[in-house]
Structure 1
Amino acid sequence: MTNRWMNSLKIGFTYIGTVVGAGFASGQEILQFFSLFGWWGTIGIMVSTVLFIWLGTRMMLMGHLLQAKSYEEVNHYLFGERIGHWVSIFVGITLFGVTTAMMAGTGALFEEQIGLSFHVGVIGTAVLAYMVIIRGMEGILSINALVVPLMLLFMLLIGIHSWQTRDFSQLAQLEPSNHTGNWLFSALTYVAFNLAMSQAVLVPLGAEISDKNTIRIGGWIGGVGLGLMLLIGHIAMQLRLDQMITLDIPMALVIEVLGEGIKMFFLLVMWGEVFTTLIGNVYGLAANLESAVPVGKKRLMALIFICAYAFSLLGFPTLVSYLYPLFGYCGMFIIALLIVRKLPA
């Protein structure tokens, strides 16, 4: 029983670490997808939490039942061989784009916040990530078991600070900002994008776990954890929305009043969130490309890092800003089929 719960915690933490990235840590994702909708954004978070629990678990169970080595096998099952192949190619392109953006983000973090070279940040992070993922899924599980509790602690500090310094009664009267869009569609797009991205890790993770109940418990832990983190960040945003809405890194407004030590903790958490997304993306890409590029998995991973580093120097993250919405719509089809398709026998 103890072993099952430990494995479930690792699954849940890996799920959280795969979904949560730099956009989450900065507060920008929470702001755009939820907080701009006022009270309805809170309902959107509840809907998202239910979908993260349900569909994330189904995705891992499909990987388990198909014994899938990569996300392409699940896409073939969902869409059929021909369409599934093209969906997987699009997923791979976007994963590479996000990987490039994550690497460029680490360089910017080191350069702007710590005063070190952009190249030191990118290369140092890439080398460390490579050392983790050559250990396979065990390495990904282990690093998420270390980093995700730090993320949860950081969000808890944000929540405690908001509780102590603000009047929560005002939350009941919150109105949406002057923001076009629908709260429910925004919540669905958020879940769709992140689950489509998480395929790269959740599918092979499910295949490596022998017990279905362990997967189900892990799915609950991951989904509930994501929901709580979203809710805490959303409340902190809502209490200062008029100030937050103009900032590139809204969470910085909360951090700056907590002292220099918390600021450094914030930078560590932000780097950790980038790191967990990075290792998940590269692992998933390598698993999917292994049969098409027969150079050995370790060399293939190194090649992905080298190419991503090269593209990060060319400003490739700009392209990702166009791919994200398209990937969200693609994710809508994936979650729709996750709902209607029966689990493999």
Structure 2
Amino acid sequence: MTTALFIFLGYTFAQLGTNLKANSHKEVLYYIGGRFVGPVLDIVITFFLFGVAVVMFAGAGSTFNQMFGVSPVVGSIIMAAIVISTLLLNTNKIIGIIATITPYLIAVIFVILIYSIFTMDLSLTEADELARQQPSATSNWLLSAFLYVSYNLAAGAALLIIMTGNEKDKKVASMGGILGGFILGMLIILIHIAMFVRIDVVAGKDMPTLELASQIHPAVGILTAIALLGMIYNTAVGMLYSFTVRFTAPESKTYRPAVIVIGSLGFIASLIGFTTLVGSVYVVMGYLGFALIVLAVAAWLRKPQDN
């Protein structure tokens, strides 16, 4: 269900971004929401862009702590400094860095997950019993699927809109949305299967994929930690960039000072803790993201080719 939704919504938002030649998510949100709903969506999405970046800083701290024994605060500082430094570059370089790193991250995670699936120790019945004991955002699988897509889209739509807004070829933008949704969906399926069959190993861990890798070999754990930090970095860069350009243009004089101030505030907020932030920010974002999905699909159906 999540894969199908990611493919369709990736395509939908890519179409909206390139049709409107958007430089910020604000333009698309006002288009799909109108004069009254648009500003509300803008405020909500902008707030959660910052929230996801904060979660990523906290996640970096947890990864450094779990894998290398480094204080979570130190790990968060390192990630915040790297992200801020990246955002001081121009837009094309930022997008280029994200595009370069992503294939490596996908390949590493893919190998780790496949290995974990084929080395499971539990029966499916045992795994199911343990999995049902773990906390969940909701007890209904269908609602969980929509929530998962909703909060991912609420966070990722802004960067997708900006990237496709600079793409002149509508077919290229649309295919990017479709392929991105498909790859993301496949990774989600693998991650969930891997966690399910190794639930005895990952239960209660902040970074379950990292724990799976460490069970294979310490060296593999380090490689996976690097991959996870790369994913965290990619996400934090995308979220903070989208958040910052909502208020100031990348070529303006205020952009660089804004990046430093916003990045520093993000680090301070990350001190609340990774699991606490995930449990609060992501679930709320998931419910609010439903409105974004409904309005985006309605706008796409209304004028899919005319803009």
Map 1:298-313 → 2, pairs under 5 A: 298-313=256-271
Other-structure match for 2:89: 135
Post-superposition offset of 1:206: 1.0
For 2:55 and 2:75, the matched residues in 1 are separated by: 13
Map 1:44-63 → 2, pairs under 5 A: 47-63=1-17
Other-structure match for 1:69: 23
Other-structure match for 1:333: 291
> Which residue, out of 132, 142, 146, partners 1:177?
132
> Which residue, out of 87, 95, 101, partners 1:147?
101
Instruction: Report whether the alignment pairs 1:241 with 2:204.
Output: no
RMSD between aligned residues: 2.9
Other-structure match for 2:171: 213
Post-superposition offset of 1:284: 0.4
Post-superposition offset of 1:168: 11
Other-structure match for 1:324: 282
Q: Judging changes above 3 Å, is the alpha-carbon distance between structure 1 residues 131 and 263 closer, same or farther for their aligned structure 2 residues?
A: same
Q: Judging changes above 3 Å, is the alpha-carbon distance between structure 1 residues 122 and 60 closer, same or farther for their aligned structure 2 residues?
A: same
For 2:197 and 2:84, the matched residues in 1 are separated by: 40
Amino acid at match of 2:198: R
Map 1:84-103 → 2, pairs under 5 A: 84-103=38-57
Question: So what's the TM-score if we normalise by structure 1?
Answer: 0.76
For 1:245 and 1:127, the matched residues in 2 are separated by: 31
Gaps of 5+ in 1: 1-46
> Which residue, out of 266, 270, 274, partners 2:224?
266
Contact 1:110–1:118 (8 Å) recurs in 2: yes
Aligned-residue identity in percent:
30
Other-structure match for 2:243: 285
Post-superposition offset of 1:170: 5.3
Q: Secondary structure at the match of 1:257?
A: helix
**Of 323-332 and 206-215, the range deviating more from structure 2:** 323-332
Q: Judging changes above 3 Å, is the alpha-carbon distance between structure 1 residues 88 and 315 closer, same or farther for their aligned structure 2 residues?
A: same
Post-superposition offset of 1:112: 4.8
Contact 1:97–1:316 (8 Å) recurs in 2: no
Q: Judging changes above 3 Å, is the alpha-carbon distance between structure 1 residues 112 and 335 closer, same or farther for their aligned structure 2 residues?
A: same
Post-superposition offset of 1:243: 4.8
Q: Secondary structure at the match of 2:168?
A: coil
Q: Give the number of equivalent residue pairs.
A: 296
Q: Judging changes above 3 Å, is the alpha-carbon distance between structure 1 residues 335 and 255 closer, same or farther for their aligned structure 2 residues?
A: same
For 1:279 and 1:246, the matched residues in 2 are separated by: 28
Amino acid at match of 1:177: R
**Of 161-170 and 264-273, the range deviating more from structure 2:** 161-170
Q: Secondary structure at the match of 1:308?
A: helix
CA-to-partner distance for each residue in 1:277-320, whole Å, 9 max, x for gaps? 100111101111117xx852222112211221233346698466
**Of 91-100 and 239-248, the range deviating more from structure 2:** 239-248
CA-to-partner distance for each residue in 1:60-84, whole Å, 9 max, x for gaps? 2211111222111111111112221
Contact 1:133–1:139 (8 Å) recurs in 2: no
Contact 1:70–1:288 (8 Å) recurs in 2: yes
Amino acid at match of 2:191: G
> Which residue, out of 254, 263, 278, partners 1:296?
254
Post-superposition offset of 1:255: 1.8
Post-superposition offset of 1:159: 3.8
